[in-house]
Amino acid sequence: MMKVVDTNLLIRYFTGDDPVKADRCERLFREAAEGRAKLLITDVCLAQLVWTLGSHYRVSRADISDKLVALLNTPGFEFSNVGVLLDASQRYRNTNVDYIDAYHAATAAESGMDVYSYDRDFDKFEDVVRLEP
């Protein structure tokens, strides 16, 4: 049976700030990679992970993006749309925008939709059209 992973497990794993919990998370994630567990990581969980690593732990955009890509490519983890999440990770890494804006841009680009927003950060993406109401 699939289980939902809360962000704090990913934080413990990636930061090692609590070695005992980090080891437990590593064991659980290894079980998933070996097919002995199925874990769901939600889009909200990933957004919270990006925010926490960047704001609290001061992890660089490049390192955060690398961690996301590694996570998205790990067997045993389920995600809503890996393609959009990988795209959002690259947009976040390569452009000075918030992760949520990168995610919305990736979602719009994948589906061919425009974005209603007053945030001019969307203008940084050539494949996204920003509209104002």
pLDDT for 18-35, tens place per residue? 999 999 999 999 999 999
Residue with tokens 């996570």: 71
Question: The whole model's pTM is what?
Answer: 0.91
SS3 46: helix
According to DSSP, residue 6 is labeled P
Same domain, 73 and 90: no
Residues in Cβ contact with 51 at an 8 Å cutoff, skipping those fewer than 6 apart: 99
Domain of residue 14: give its range: 1-80
Pairing mode, if any, of strands 2-4 and 38-40? parallel
Tell me, yes or no, whether 133 lies in a domain. no
pLDDT score, position 27? 97
Report angle CA 89, 91, 97 to the nearest 5 degrees.
110
Rounded to an integer, what is the distance from CA 39 to the centroid of its chain?
15
Same domain, 34 and 66: yes
**pLDDT tens for the chain, residues 1 to 133:** 899 999 999 999 999 999 999 999 999 999 999 999 999 999 999 999 999 999 999 999 999 999 999 999 999 999 999 999 999 999 999 999 999 999 999 999 999 999 999 999 999 999 999 999 9
Tell me, yes or no, whether 65 lies in a domain. yes
Same domain, 76 and 86: no
Same domain, 46 and 94: no
SS3 81: coil
